[in-house]
Structure 1
Amino acid sequence: MRPITIAFAALALGIAAPAFAQAAPDAAMQGALAQDNRADDRARDEWRHPAETLEFFRVEPGMTVVDYMPAGGWYTRVLVPYLGSAGRYVGIMPDPANADVEGMAGYFAKLPAAFAKDSPGWNLAGAPVAAYASQDVPEALKGTVDRALIFREMHNLYRSGALRAELMRLRELLKDDGMLGIVQHRAKPWAAGDYTDGSRGYMRQSDVIGLVEAAGFELVGTSEVNANAKDSADHPKGVWELPPSRSTNRPELDAVGESDRMTLLFRKR
């Protein structure tokens, strides 16, 4: 199946491209975004476009969804209420044994305990929540997942050496018609290889597509819903110079906002 780039496909047909950021969320999504436990999260909505992103990924209430490396739970607090009691939310963390960089292996090893410690304080209501390191996923979960989602973590998987092994495990979890959605900080197409090795957070879109396709997926489409043309994507210390991290004292970057991001949808093949 030929992949579709939403904005360009619309232009080719002579119609207006969809105005993702202005699309009205459905009632279930409106309710999820209005949850009291998202009071501190809402400032990021204008950059992360949760309603439009999940719509592009074809996520629907009642689905079983893997949220890969949920970290502080920003998308957990959207997905759990949105999926509802008929759905399932599964947080998955990388297997430290798949990392060939010592510091990253240690970081991965701490993630399951951190999620278990922090998630009760998020006051989640909706889909049942489970979380596993990828090496500990129950056999019964394999082949049952509708969507697997990776938000801004491809660079960590790539620089740690764990990317291919973890993608293969996600593929094993997906149903035959299951899909993988990815949001990732986007480097310019001409960015140098030593800038796009994951250590600065940015990756080239063509590289991400190639790596994912090589792991047994086919590209369904791309979206510009999380694009930010103001981001030059060439910051010396990487994406963390931008909000919300602001790792360096460069107040002029506040006007840029969060990073330019690719949004990609793949199907298991």
Structure 2
Amino acid sequence: MKHAAIAAALALSGALVVTVLPLAAEDAAITTETANAIAAAVADTMRPAEDTARDEARKPGKIIAFAGVRPGMVVIEYSPGGGYYTRLLAKTVGPTGHVYALVPAGFAGRQDYMDRMNALAAQYGNVDIIPTDFGNYKLPKMADLAWTSENYHDFVNGGTAEPADKAAFAALKPGGLYFIEDHAAPGTGLTATNSLHRIDPAAVKSQVIAAGFVFDGESDALHNPDDPHDASPRQFSGVSDKFALRFKKPE
């Protein structure tokens, strides 16, 4: 019955083809309320067309469900980019939740970018855009989930991955979740982060576990076996192979 409720709720979005992931931890955490909130986020008419055009490749409904996002959560989002997931997270957590979108401190000087992101925050009403050092920040509330998508390899390049992991651990409540999605380069360790803008998921696991987290699950929703992993995602003609990892701060 629970699987049927999840599938029916997520299918409310015509842009989303639903296959419930066979992950016991995820299934146990999802309620019909959460599934409805995710479906409403994907179907949100405030999302720009350039975002919804990417949904087929990014599978936001599946990814948000796997990450453990639910209504009422306080979420930290590292490097929100243009706000693709910021909008989805804001809508999913709803008016009783909050999203702290952390952007690199250098972005504060890019007025056009900050204006766009602050307009997004005003549109949703439960988002704060915070230029900050990822390894040294203080939020008004302890968070339920920390999130980063397609950025972790850049954190490694900039020397902020380990500080961000430690800061996320400190900012999360006991039992809080840390979600990382990125372009995959299996077996390369940290050697492809700059040259190919990809990273080995095993290297991410090692770094995040070293910060105190426990590995809590992996989704293959974004896995593409046809990606040879030998070019940057922008140079690859198809959709890049991506991994999605979930970690947990011990209770």
Q: TM-score, normalised by structure 2?
A: 0.78
Query: Per-residue CA shift, 1:93-127, capped at 9, x if unaligned?
Result: 245xxxxxxxxxxxxx1257555311244486555
Determine if the alignment matches structure 1 residue 177 to structure 2 residue 158: no
C-alpha RMSD of matched pairs (Å): 2.4
The question of whether the paired residues in 1 share the 8 Å contact of 2:107 and 2:131 is answered with: no
Calculate percent identity across the aligned residue pairs. 26
The alignment covers a number of residue pairs equal to 218
Residue 81 in structure 1 maps to residue 91 in structure 2: yes
Match of 1:265 among 235, 246, 251: 246
**Is 1:232 aligned to residue 232 of structure 2?**
no
1:156-175, Cα deviation, whole Å (9 max, x unpaired)? 00011111112111111100
5+ unaligned residues in a row in structure 2: which ranges?
Answer: 1-16, 21-31
Amino acid aligned to 2:158: S
The match for 1:32 among 4, 27, 41 is 41
Give 1:128's aligned amino acid.
Answer: N
CA pair 130-110 structure 1, distance change in 2 beyond 3 A: same
Q: Distance in 1 between matches of 2:108 and 2:219?
A: 30
3-state secondary structure, aligned to 2:102: strand
Alpha-carbon distance between aligned partners in 2 of 1:124 and 1:22, rounded to the nearest angstrom: 33
Offset of 1:139 from its aligned partner?
Answer: 5.3
Q: Which residue of 1 aligns with 2:146?
A: 148
Task: Output the CA distance in 2 between the equivalents of 1:208 and 1:86.
Answer: 32
Give the equivalent residue in structure 1 for 2:29. Answer: none
Letter in 2 for 1:140: P
Matches within 5 A, 1:17-56: 21-23=18-20, 26-38=35-47, 39-56=49-66
Q: Partner of 1:104 in structure 2?
A: none
CA shift, 1:52, in A, is 0.8
Offset of residue 131 of structure 1: 2.2
8 Å Cα contact 1:134/1:166 also seen in 2: no
Spell out the pairing of 1:182-201 with structure 2 (5 A cutoff). Answer: 182-189=180-187, 191=188, 194=191, 196-201=192-197
User: Pick from 125, 130, 133: which aligns with 2:128?
Assistant: 130
Partner of 2:202: 206
Aligned to 1:66: 76
SS in 1 for 2:162: helix
How far did 1:133 drift?
Answer: 3.1
Larger Rg over CA atoms: 1
Classify 1:161/1:140 alpha carbon distance in 2 versus 1 (closer, same or farther; 3 Å). same
Which residue of 2 is the match for residue 241 of structure 1? 235
1:110 alignment partner in structure 2: 107
C-alpha contact 1:159 1:199 (8 A) present in aligned 2: no
Question: Equivalent residue for 2:7?
Answer: none
**Unpaired stretches in structure 1, ≥5 consecutive residues:** 1-19, 96-108, 243-252
Deviations 1:12-32 (Å, cap 9, x if unpaired)? xxxxxxxx9524983222221
Task: Determine which of 160, 163, 166 is the counterpart of 2:161.
Answer: 163
**Structure 1 residues 204-238: Cα deviation after superposition (integer angstroms, max 9, x where no partner):** 11111111111121101111011111211101xx2
Cα deviation for residue 183 of structure 1 reads 0.3
Amino acid in structure 1 at the alignment position of 2:156 = Y
- Counterparts of 1:51 and 1:155 in 2: how far apart (Å)? 23
